Structure 1
Amino acid sequence: MAAKGGVNEIAGRYAKALFDLADEGKKLDDVAADLRTLGTILDESDDLQRVVRSPVISRADQGKAMAAVLDKLDVSDLTKRFVGYVAANRRLFALKAITKAYLATLAARRGEVTAEVASAKALSEAQIAAVEEALKKAVGGKVAVSHKVDPSLIGGLIVKVGSRMIDSSVSTQLQRLKLAMKGA
């Protein structure tokens, strides 16, 4: 597996190629939705993560496994072919980074800022809309929210917009309290 900088370079090249193909075929939103769905499945399945990351599993087997997953997810033909190409080139380990780079490119094209929101439990549509609205006011423009669940937060949110981070999670507050108690 490549180093972190190498993964980002690989992801950038692959994401640009996919973006260009999707733009040409007028499928930018379809591919974005496919990649988000695939990213969610990857996050939730330890077995699929092992398939994607294992250097022991052959290219052909990785490709077959991903093709089966993509068939079940009913993704676009462009996404299937792209993931097949990525598997054939032994770059599945970079799939999450490719997705992130693709979505960032799409957001930049639309003049949106991407915000990553982590919460202890899944947020309802109304809660996500409220977070989006608050971020729009704070940032002063369009905001695309990427949401993930992290039970270790106990409660609250962690919001990342660009290089800024707002951490209002209960786990962080408890950690600060613990440090303050040690100092007393």
Structure 2
Amino acid sequence: MSGTLVSSEIAEPYAQALMSLAQQNDLADQFGDTFRALESLFAESEEFRDFIANPVIDPEAKKSVLKRVMGDDANSYLVNFMMLLVDKRRIMFLETIGQQYLELLRKLNQVVLAEVTSAKELEDEQKQRIVEKVKGMTDANDVELKTSIDPSLIGGVIIKVGSKVIDASLRGQLRRISVSLKS
């Protein structure tokens, strides 16, 4: 837990500086798209995450891999930012910096993040109903859904928006019935 706190404290100034640069050059959403893609890459490839976090790997090798991952059409400001992170030995915080940047972008665009856990994959209509429900609860302009699947819920969903948690799962309902029967 304290490691997460330390990485957040290190990542925040970098994310804020990058957001400032992005806003000055009207690139905030473009950088956000890049960080979402990197977030997916970190989630899919433990090997990539370990490579980036490993302090023993040659910085030039990291730069080379990052340039290939970013592609030839990547924004030069963002590529230079990542090269700076490698030079300053802060590249291990790239994932946290990306998360912090996306949080700043959501605040800028008045978008809330709703983490939705369901027993099975949600259909588009169900996702849209959740988005509308969350918009009504939060008065946000838009809602970004982050979905995950947990078959142990049996049915229904758990929606987390900030510190609010709405447990509309069958498992949660059974747990509440069990508690009420015991008392």
> With structure 2 as the length reference, what TM-score do the two structures score?
0.79
1:133 counterpart = 2:132: yes
Task: Give how far 1:170 is off.
Answer: 6.0
Contiguous gaps of at least 5 residues in structure 2: none
Contiguous gaps of at least 5 residues in structure 1: none
Corresponding position of 1:100: 99
Task: Give how far 1:114 is off.
Answer: 2.7
Task: Give how far 1:147 is off.
Answer: 1.2
**2-structure distance, mates of 1:22, 1:87:** 20
Q: Provide the alpha-carbon RMSD of the alignment.
A: 2.9
Distance change >3 Å, CA 161–CA 8, structure 1 → 2: same
Task: Give how far 1:123 is off.
Answer: 4.2
Corresponding position of 1:17: 17
Corresponding position of 2:144: 145
Corresponding position of 1:79: 78
- The range that moved more, 144-153 or 56-65, is 144-153
Distance change >3 Å, CA 139–CA 127, structure 1 → 2: same
- C-alpha contact (below 8 Å) 1:60/1:88 kept by paired residues: no
Distance change >3 Å, CA 38–CA 85, structure 1 → 2: same
Partner letter of residue 164 of structure 2?
Answer: R
Corresponding position of 1:37: 37
Partner letter of residue 15 of structure 2?
Answer: A
**Number of matched residues?**
178
**1-structure distance, mates of 2:51, 2:170:** 34
Q: Secondary structure at the match of 1:94?
A: helix
Partner letter of residue 35 of structure 1?
Answer: F
**1-structure distance, mates of 2:70, 2:78:** 8
Task: Give how far 1:97 is off.
Answer: 1.8
**1-structure distance, mates of 2:88, 2:131:** 37
Q: Secondary structure at the match of 2:71?
A: helix
1:4 counterpart = 2:4: yes
Q: Secondary structure at the match of 2:51?
A: helix
1:114 counterpart = 2:113: yes
**1-structure distance, mates of 2:121, 2:106:** 23
- C-alpha contact (below 8 Å) 1:63/1:88 kept by paired residues: no
Task: Give how far 1:80 is off.
Answer: 2.1
Higher gyration radius (CA): 2
Task: Give how far 1:104 is off.
Answer: 1.6
Q: Secondary structure at the match of 2:26?
A: coil
Task: Give how far 1:12 is off.
Answer: 0.8
Task: Give how far 1:37 is off.
Answer: 1.0
Distance change >3 Å, CA 173–CA 5, structure 1 → 2: same
Task: Give how far 1:8 is off.
Answer: 0.7
